[in-house]
Amino acid sequence: MISAGAWSGQDVAGTLRMPTDADHKYSRGVVGVRTGSDLFPGAAVLGVEAAWRTGIGMVRYLGPAGAAAAVLQRRPETVTVAGAVQAWLIGSGTDAASRTDEETAALREVLSGEQPVVVDAGALDLAPAASAPLVVTPHDREHARLRAALGLDVFDAADDRADRAAAAAETAAALGGVVLLKGAETLVAAPDGRLVRVRAGTPWLATAGTGDVLGGVLGALVAGAVAADGPAGADLVGAAASAAWLHGQAGVRAARDVGGGPITALDVAEALPRVVAHVLSGRA
């Protein structure tokens, strides 16, 4: 059985940084977002919204024109021209089966760069060939497909938690990147064998779009870590575990705000600033 530590609010506090008078938008981190599609523009809106709400200096959105228009309508401060970034978020709201050759080439360029990349959903098929530092964010079915692409044995997600943890660790080692395996208990596994468990959410998070929100939170945290410590010094495991914790707590708070009832993905994103403030104040 693989031993794994549990992530806490105090751990999250160590990955967040309160801005100072000396900060500016670039020093706080710039995340590049290449998500969404004509079929699923909302994924782009949710990821960008979550990145801004987590605390980031700038979001650059470089997706389809229709999705970009939706992003700007919701978050007009978003920049939609190419430029320097500290991290990337790709794949949310896209489908590898319908991806164009031009888009595939653009994603491969991102995945061969020096900046860390958060890889979600429709870009997971490109992760095995990547050379950039990676955090992949599969759910159990996507994890199974990723393992097959890496030549690993089939893993049944219905197996016990020890086997699920061992599978995540094996995937991370084979990929050479961090695996954030989503679920009621989120697992974060690193290639060096480090494993963290995060259980900070609510079953109300099992609704469309919340994974897109998680991607935005994670992209913002990774970009902030790179801005502070450089690509080589950024703790991707810590960023991934903290993103899962913040996302879960935002879900809890959003559900509490409506009397303990159902929530939407946008509710989760809108709850993020209060959760971040709670952590930074030392109350978590």
Report pLDDT digits (tens) over 99-145: 999 999 999 999 999 999 999 999 999 999 999 999 999 999 999 99
272-281 pLDDT per residue, tens: 999 999 999 9
Please give the share of the chain, as a percent, with pLDDT higher than 70.
95
146's CB contacts (< 8 A; 6+ apart) are 124, 127, 128, 136, 138, 171, 175
**266 three-state secondary structure:** helix
188-238 pLDDT, tens per residue? 999 999 999 998 789 999 999 999 999 999 999 999 999 999 988 999 999
3-state SS class at 64: coil
Q: What is the reported pLDDT for 1? A: 45
Confidence grade of residue 42 (pLDDT, cut at 50, 70, 90) = very high
Rounded Cα distance, 5 and 101, in Å:
42
- For residue 65, the model assigns a pLDDT of 97
Mapped to the 3 state alphabet, what secondary structure does 79-118 carry?
Answer: ECCCCCCCEEEECCCCCHHHCCHHHHHHHHHHHCCCCCEE
Query: Edge-to-edge strand order for the sheet containing 30-34?
Result: 5-6, 195-198, 186-189, 178-181, 134-136, 117-119, 87-90, 30-34, 58-61
Q: Mean of the pLDDT values across residues 15-19?
A: 94
**For residues 177 and 166, is the Cβ–Cβ distance under 8 A?**
no
Q: Which structural domains are found in the chain, ordered by start?
A: 18-280 (3.40.1190.20)
Other CB atoms within a 10 A radius of the CB of residue 114 amount to 10
Reply yes or no on whether the pLDDT at 159 is more than 70. no
pLDDT in tens, 88-103: 999 999 999 999 999 9
The amino acid occupying position 148 is A
Q: Which pLDDT belongs to residue 3?
A: 58
Coil, strand, or helix at residue 33?
strand
Beta bridge partners of 188: 180, 196
Report which DSSP code applies to 27. T
- Per-residue pLDDT, 2: 56
Q: What single letter denotes the amino acid at residue 16?
A: L
d(CA 198, CA 69): 35
28 pLDDT higher than 70: yes
Q: Where are the beta strands (DSSP E) in the chain?
A: 5-6, 30-34, 58-61, 87-90, 117-119, 134-136, 178-181, 186-189, 195-198
Average per-residue pLDDT for the chain:
95
Check pLDDT > 90 for residue 176.
yes
227 phi and psi angles, rounded to 5 deg: -60, -35
- Return d(Cα 60, Cα 46) in angstroms, integer: 14
